Structure 1
Amino acid sequence: MATLIERRARGELSTGVAAAAAADVVRVEGLSQELPLGTEVRCEPSGEVLVLGWRRGFDCVCVATGGAAGAAAAVGDTVDFAGSVACVAAGAPLRGADVAPLAAVAAASDTGTADDLQAVINNPPDAESRRPIDTPLVTGVKAVDMLLPLGEGQSVLVAGAPGSGLGAAAACAAAAQAAAGVHVVVACCGAYEGAATSAEEWRARVRAAAGPSADAVDANLTVVHSSPDAGAGERYLCAQAACAVAEGSAAAGDSTLVVLDDAGALSGFWKAVSEVAPAELNVQAKQEVQEGDEEGAKAVEEMNSAMVQVAGMLVSKEAAERRGIFSSLLQRAACLSEGAGGGEISLVAMACEAGAAANAASGREAAIVQKQIEKVMAYETITDEQKERMVAALREKLPQDAAGGGDGAQAQSFVSQEVSEEIKSISDGHVVLEGSPASDGAAFTVDLRGSLVRIGSRAALPTTRAVASRMRLELVQTLDELEYSASGSEEENLDEGLKARRARLLAAVEAMHQNELAAGVDRQALVLWAIDRGLLDGVATDDSFSFAVADAAADAAARAAPEAAAELAAEGAVDDEAAAG
């Protein structure tokens, strides 16, 4: 940074021009390519400060710290390096505190350089700064901890439809980790119905999920919250700032968990980038094409649509740019090596997916129409009024939900199927929630067939390490067998073997339903042990049996035989004599 400041003083860094704005993001043309992401730049004469969030050569997209009004005021201004990088206070100073990302950036800029400041936008740790993931990440979600074990340093997508209980699942994970002394950092930027809208609401949810441990969680919880009317840029910076806060703690050797309460903060920023800087406006390429050079213009178009290789796949350059935005945040999750501080940064991103109709609308047809809209917006030979008429005609081709229908904000709040699948391919696993809780009193239900984690049993709790993979496979196979059985799933039509497996399945599925409370490791160990031993098979079909009954039985067993329960939780096994006691 000192070198860049010196070069600016010598006039060696090119300035840019704020060419266009959309909501709180600004496209800047011509700015020096040497400035890293996260750099603060200043607009003159408006005085607006922007944070460099994305670039394509000389084409940049910045977030206006003054929101939509500041972005609009900056258009036409000269943009120059402000001499600083956007930072936030990180680590221990923010444990137990709440902070707004833009306010935190302003405060950090005023204090100058300090050891406890962390760059908001940072490169993910390289291979030398990482170590293997081998420590369990206890989420307090029974189905996850027992059958889909996660590890510290892992990035995971949790996906569900509206009403599936995404908020309750996120609060469980935050409560379980904060109660264990982990620094939990929540990026409160949710735009979907049911998402927490303030730091106070998030804290209330975590305290409720913590139950008896409620008093212990506040001191380990940091909520980075965007404003209620935040644009795509502020929501994106909120997510990045939460990671920066966690990185400060991890660099000091602490375990951290980042909860991104809406993965739409990533896809929303990409949509803003696409709107204000579509691929057709590749400034660097256009500078090399003379006016009237049809061959040159054609070459630029081909370059923008060319396929590139990403993670072994051929994708368009546009898709690669979008993937770069997603991975820049998701890959900040890591187990840091001793040289990098030795801590852990785990990341859980919540994705509110649209229903089946909206997913269909966001598929191929909608993607084609959206590309046509972007091309129209890039035309330079027609008036704005003509553009509006053409875009309106294109939007009429979309189904009501995809076009924005009666509530455009609501349509934009969902994470599309395409985006969700792409995030799944980048993360270390995904947990899918059923469309609605499948049991009375349950806050959410995990879909075992739709969920997948890639770390494996090395990060599982001792009590689940030996049985998690086997039991999940058995349950999923039984689900498939019952679904595709020619004779149907009625009890009288099943053979004896399938009857036994069905009883085990019913017991396991019901016992893993959950209310809003995070489940303790001891209770989980006892429930899993009872399922594996078949102790619940006989009562699973009883109308009075429920997950609450199983939880109460596990609590009673732990009180009656505390030593055996502790042995089971710590070792993953218990001798027959202790079990009988």
Structure 2
Amino acid sequence: MSTELGRANVELGDIRAEVASQLEHLHWDVRHREVGVVTQTGDGVAHLRGLPSAGYGELVRTSSGVTGMIFDVRPEELGILFLDASESVSAGDEMHSLGRVASVAAGPELLGRVVDVLGRPLDGGQPIHSNEFLPMEREAPAVAERRPVRTPLQTGTKVIDSLLPIGQGQRELLLGDRSTGKTALALDAILAQRSSGVICVYAALGQRKSTVAEVVATLKRGGALDHTIVLSADADAPAGQQYLAPYAACSIAEYFMRAGRHSLIIYDSLTAHADIYRRISLLFERPPGREAYPPDVFYLHARLLERATRLRDDLGGGSLTALPIADTLGGNVAAYIPTNLISITDGQIILDSHLFNEGVRPAIDVGLSVSRVGGKAQPPILRELASDLRLVYSQLNELENFARFGAELEQEARARLERGRRVREAFKQVRLAPLTLLQEVGTLFAVREGYLDRIAVAEVSAFLSALCEELRAVPADVEASLYTDAHLSAETEGMLRTALKSVCGRRSERAHHES
């Protein structure tokens, strides 16, 4: 028995030695982890107690993986804005901080893709792997980092490029009633960048899924999806995604600007964004102001649109051009959100529902629209050819009103009226068919030289379509020179006259055969 007892003591000693040996390699420490407890939840938001070290904009997550952002900071509780579906979250659930602010994936890997605010693909494609993650909320470039807007951004829309030019780094508001062609103008601008090297970002805010799918299909048919990123926060997305969508899209576009590239971003629309911000603010019981919007709704869009600029050459020389879209009701441009955006941006393009119903497409009200950059960001040749057309276009309505009421017009006034009608017809353009700079120059050259005065108003559109088709065969180097030449060269003018003569000749032959 003593032998067995001795053997047991030896085994216990071996075990103690083994345990002691293992414990020598262990390092003990105390882990501190803050958690918060949900006290109330509903409608995509929650109230949380705890997390004393967390700050505004920080991401938090539940144990089940539902992500939210700290949107409201109060002495006793935090307001959480969910970025995922939050139906599974209930009072008593714990949330912990992720230790970082809301960020979005950025980089060339996103080109041609449709993603949500968190960078997850919505197009059924492969997951996106990016090494770059940028904060959604970033400070705008300082004044000293910016350079003046001088380089034109071709939109492919005749009336905009001629009378309301947009420059790289500018912020130009598209404003009008629903279904007046605002999105079509924005898509034309994206389609016009197919060969310009400009990266485009389209932010769909609060739209129907079918509308977003139609936009994507349009870009794909037009061959523009390869240089475009579509970020969608549709009407069914959580309120947090709809709120963060424009900031996430702006960070993606800023990535290319900081890399020395030129980018164009479309916000469609900031009216929907303001509405979702109003809804969120009311849920958090923030004091309402005019039209129930919170008092800081101006800052909501000011800090977003200030990020659009043109950087100095030593910082890469990249640019970010913003085309925000806003809706009006009954053409009331003096409403709260439209006036805020007008005061923030560098100009506005106003679309009129009456012009739209009369068949003037695009239905741009030239008299109320303005580009504060103006001719400084316009090719010199285009500026020269369009110098007097804005006045002619503006006088047209007044002259038509006189003629409509039976007033007898002098011969000079009748000539201005007829020319104005042809100018208006020349500026008409089918949607989703942007023109090249050469085609726009050819159109304005035909107007200036009086080629349209010889044909009926109803035939102007067909004549100019034939001219644009004729100019497609012109070498690309001819068009490249139009961006820098101060005046039409004799060679270019001769080429335009030859093209116009060819179109006029075919038109005369067709008229002869018909007679």
TM-score (norm 1): 0.68
CA distance in 1, matches of 2:460, 2:79: 52
Q: What is the alpha-carbon distance in structure 2 between the residues aligned to residue 454 and residue 464 of structure 1?
A: 17
Return the alpha-carbon distance in structure 1 between the equivalents of residues 479 and 469 of structure 2.
10
Q: 1:139 to 1:331 in 2, by over 3 A?
A: same
Query: Does residue 1:251 correspond to 2:226, yes or no?
Result: no
Which of 166, 171, 190 is equivalent to 1:150?
A: 166
Q: Which has the higher contact order (CA 8 A, sep 6+)?
A: 1
- Deviation of the 1:467 alpha carbon: 4.8
Query: Using the alignment, how far apart are the partners of 1:228 and 1:103 within structure 2?
Result: 18
Task: Give the partner amino acid of 2:146.
Answer: R
1:506 equivalent to 2:421? Answer yes
Query: Is the Cα–Cα contact under 8 Å of residues 60 and 70 in structure 2 kept in the other structure?
Result: yes
Q: Which residue of structure 2 lines up, in the alignment, with residue 82 of structure 1?
A: 98
Work out whether residues 56 and 71 of structure 2, in 8 Å CA contact, stay in contact via their aligned partners in 1: no
* Structure 2 equivalent of residue 530 of structure 1: 446
What is the aligned counterpart of 2:458 among 530, 539, 544?
544
Distance 1:340 1:236, change over 3 A: farther
In 2: Cα distance, 1:441 partner to 1:207 partner: 27
Deviation at 1:173, TM superposition (A): 0.9
Matched to 1:261, the amino acid is D
Q: Which residue of 2 aligns with 1:42?
A: 61
Task: Answer whether contact 2:56 2:72 (CA < 8 A) is retained.
Answer: no
Structure 1 residue corresponding to 2:218, chosen from 205, 209, 225: 205
Cα 1:416–1:54 change in 2 (3 A) is farther
Q: Are residue 119 (structure 1) and residue 135 (structure 2) matched?
A: yes
* Whole-angstrom distance in 1 between the partners of 2:355 and 2:184: 11
Q: What aligned pairs does 1:160-559 form with structure 2 within 5 A after superposition? A: 160-191=176-207, 197-198=211-212, 200-208=213-221, 210=222, 214=223, 217-227=224-234, 229-280=236-287, 320-338=295-313, 340-355=315-330, 417-435=335-353, 438=356, 444-468=362-386, 470-480=388-398, 482-483=400-401, 487-489=402-404, 493-516=408-431, 517-539=433-455, 542=456, 544-556=458-470, 559=473
Identity within the alignment, %: 26
Deviations 1:490-523 (A, max 9, x none): 6872122322222222112111111121111111
Q: Quick one: structure 1 residues 53 and 269, their matched pair in 2 at CA, closer, same or farther if it must change by over 3 Å? A: farther
Q: 1:264 to 1:96 in 2, by over 3 A?
A: same
Q: Does 1:134 pair with 2:109?
A: no
In the alignment, is the contact (CA less than 8 A) between 1:15 and 1:30 conserved in 2?
yes
Tell me the distance in 1 between the aligned counterparts of 2:416 and 2:53.
Answer: 62
Q: CA deviation at 1:251?
A: 1.2
Deviations for 1:161-197, whole angstroms, at most 9, x for unmatched residues?
23212232121111112442211111123427xx853
Q: Deviations over 1:253-294 (max 9, x none)?
A: 1111111222234212321233113334xxxxxxxxxxxxxx
- Which has the greater radius of gyration? 2
Partners of 2:219 and 2:267 in 1: how far apart? Answer: 14
Q: Is this contact kept in 2: 1:22–1:275, CA < 8 A?
A: no
One-letter code aligned to 1:197: T
Structure 1 residues 148 and 64, CA gap change in structure 2 (3 angstroms): same
Cα distance change of structure 1 residues 22 and 431 upon mapping to structure 2, 3 Å threshold: farther
SS at structure 1 position matched to 2:192: helix
Does the CA-based 8 Å contact 2:347-2:370 persist in structure 1? yes
Structure 1: unaligned runs, 5 residues or longer: 1-8, 106-110, 281-303, 306-314, 360-414
- Is the Cα–Cα contact under 8 Å of residues 522 and 565 in structure 1 kept in the other structure? yes
Q: Distance in 1 between matches of 2:53 and 2:169?
A: 32
Maintained 8 Å contact 1:251/1:343: yes
Deviation at 1:124? 1.9
Return closer, same or farther for 1:481/1:423 CA change in 2, 3 Å cut-off.
same
Q: Secondary structure at the match of 2:467?
A: helix
CA deviation after TM superposition for structure 1 residue 40, in Å: 1.0
* CA contact 1:326–1:423 (8 Å) conserved in 2: yes
Q: Is the 8 A contact 1:40 1:51 kept in 2?
A: yes
Range that drifts further, 17-26 or 263-272: 17-26
Aligned residues: 459
Which structure has more helix as a fraction of its residues? 1
The partner residue of 1:23 within 43, 58, 79 is 43
Indicate the residue corresponding to 2:83 in structure 1. Answer: 65
- Distance in 2 between residues matched to 1:61 and 1:269, nearest whole Å: 16
Deviation at 1:204, TM superposition (A): 1.9
> 1:119 & 1:335 partners in 2: Cα distance?
20
Q: What RMSD, in angstroms, separates the aligned Cα atoms of the two structures?
A: 3.9
Cα deviation per residue 1:383-437 (whole Å; 9 max; x = unaligned)?
xxxxxxxxxxxxxxxxxxxxxxxxxxxxxxxx99321221121111111123166
8 Å contact from structure 2 (residues 114, 229) kept in 1: yes
The amino acid across from 1:449 in the alignment is: G
Q: Distance in 1 between matches of 2:317 and 2:361?
A: 35
TM-score with structure 2 setting the length: 0.76
Q: Select between 458-467 and 503-512 the one with higher mean Cα deviation.
A: 458-467
Look up the equivalent residue of 1:421 and give its one-letter code: T
Cα distance change, pair 543–480 in 1 and its aligned pair in 2 (3 A):
closer
C-alpha deviations, 1:450-504, integer Å up to 9, x for none?
2111112111123222354643244224434554xxx444687212232222222
Compute the displacement of 1:236 (Å). Answer: 2.4
Q: What displacement does 1:250 show?
A: 1.2
Tell me how far 1:334 sits from its aligned partner: 1.3
**Contact 2:396/2:421 (8 A) holds in 1:** no
8 Å CA contact 1:232, 1:265 repeated in 2:
no
Per-residue CA shift, 1:327-382, capped at 9, x if unaligned? 122222111234544311111122233336xx6xxxxxxxxxxxxxxxxxxxxxxx
Worse overlay, 425-434 or 464-473: 464-473
Q: Which amino acid aligns with 2:412?
A: G
Partners of 2:449 and 2:202 in 1: how far apart? 38
Rate the CA distance shift 1:317–1:353 in 2: closer, same or farther, 3 A: closer
Tell me which residue corresponds to 1:396. Answer: none
2: CA distance between counterparts of 1:33 and 1:494? Answer: 77
- Contact in 2 for aligned 1:239/1:265 (Cα 8 Å): no
In 2, Cα distance between equivalents of 1:440 and 1:456? 28
Cα distance in 2 between the residues matched to 1:266 and 1:33: 30
Q: Which amino acid aligns with 2:106?
A: A
Name the CA distance, whole Å, in 2 between partners of 1:56 and 1:505: 61
Q: What is the DSSP-based 3-state SS (H/G/I as helix, E as strand, rest coil) of the residue aligned with 1:275?
A: helix
